Amino acid sequence: MSRSTYSQEIKEAYAQANSSVVVYDTLQLGGNADGTGGIGGGISALDMAFVVDDTGSMSSFLVTVKDIVTQLVTDLQETYETVRFGLVRFKDEGDTTVELDFTTNGSAFIAAVDALSASGGGDGPENGFGATVLGCGSMNWSPSATGTQKIAYLFTDQTSHERGATEAQALASLDAQDTVFLLSTDDGSEKNYGGLVSATGGSTIDYAQDDQDVLDDILDAVGGVAPPDSAFYIIRATKAYDLPLVLGGGLKTFEPVGFSMTLPGQNDQGIQDIGIAVDNVDGRVLEVIQDLAATGQPVDVYYRPYMSSDLTQPQMVPPLKLTLSGVKVTDTQVSARASFADIVNMKFLNREKYSAARFPSLNNT
């Protein structure tokens, strides 16, 4: 078992009282220690919203969508433990509706898609940006903290006008839901949706191909979406820092939020609770904790210290993992008790306890 302990470098800095070295304490609320996936493991849930242009020029494409939707639903339900489907249809500004909010009823979704009928419209731009904003803002998406993979999938053969909503507004709505944008067009081009595709890590699918090829491309695109990082990263500092969770790893943005905590001591007392108090003036911390608690899973917290003289890696590997056991909220602060694994009172082969005297590596500092 790996233990959480300060690096030799940080111990030496403390021992020498080196005033030129600043130790930045950080907390990660939720997620996994490696910064990927949702609470408790890999991605097991999917929210997928179809945003469909149903103008007259989409007639042949709607036939393709209807032909593949049953098999698509079956394949996705076999891949994920929970899949929720939703449907938005649009033509021009003022003619955009949520036809079906998210449901796990695959048959209801298939029926809603089958009921779409291509009509009206012209040769000009449609309201794709506005439909994206409506879908992201009006549908019951899963909270980001659940780690659910979320996809808005737009089907159109036209560019989008910017009368009702701009590209920037559409991107902001996707970002607010941590949603990846997929696009299907008739010629494989990105029209004017390329910014949404690239900014969210999505992809473009050409529907002017055989049904099986379209289906395969959709499944590849969904499977290729990177797992969402459901964690919230904070640092006890005066500004934000982009820091890796491991040496050579991708950077995470740690936001400046005040907090206080005391690391667990070294003794044979068994499981130890510690206090954590986090600034909640703007309400973000409480919102994150509420979203995490709504999943029914334990709310995990990871502590990592960084040194100002070496921000390429944390100085505690693996990080100290704690689980929140109680939360109290005021207008200015979220306080909680947190505990870690009770290794001290575990017996080896039912004979010997893991005491600090017998096993010195249990030390936490």
Q: Which two tokens stand for residue 55?
A: 């103008």
- Would you state the pLDDT for residue 41? 40
Q: Name residue 70's amino acid.
A: T
Q: Which residues of 93-103 are buried (b: 16+ CB within 10 A; e: fewer)?
A: eebbebbbbbb
Q: Measured between alpha carbons, how far is 120 from 14 in angstroms, rounded to an integer?
A: 72
| Beta-ladder partners of 95 | none
The answer to whether 145 and 296 have CB atoms below 8 angstroms apart is no
Q: What is the mean pLDDT of each run of 10 residues along the chain (365 residues)?
A: 71 76 90 61 78 93 92 90 94 92 96 94 85 96 81 94 92 93 88 94 89 90 72 91 89 90 61 80 78 71 92 92 83 82 46 57 53
Q: Model-level pTM greater than 0.75?
A: no
Q: Measured between alpha carbons, how far is 72 from 79 in angstroms, rounded to an integer?
A: 11
Residue in 340, 296, 292, 314 with CA at minimum distance from that of residue 31 = 292
- Would you state the pLDDT for residue 88? 97
The answer to whether 313 and 244 have CB atoms below 8 angstroms apart is yes
Coarse DSSP helix, strand, coil percentages of the chain, rounded to the nearest 5 percent:
25, 30, 45
- Would you state the pLDDT for residue 349? 47
* 45-223: in CATH 3.40.50.410: yes
Q: Measured between alpha carbons, how far is 247 from 153 in angstroms, rounded to an integer?
A: 36
Q: What is the DSSP letter of 330?
A: -
- Would you state the pLDDT for residue 330? 85
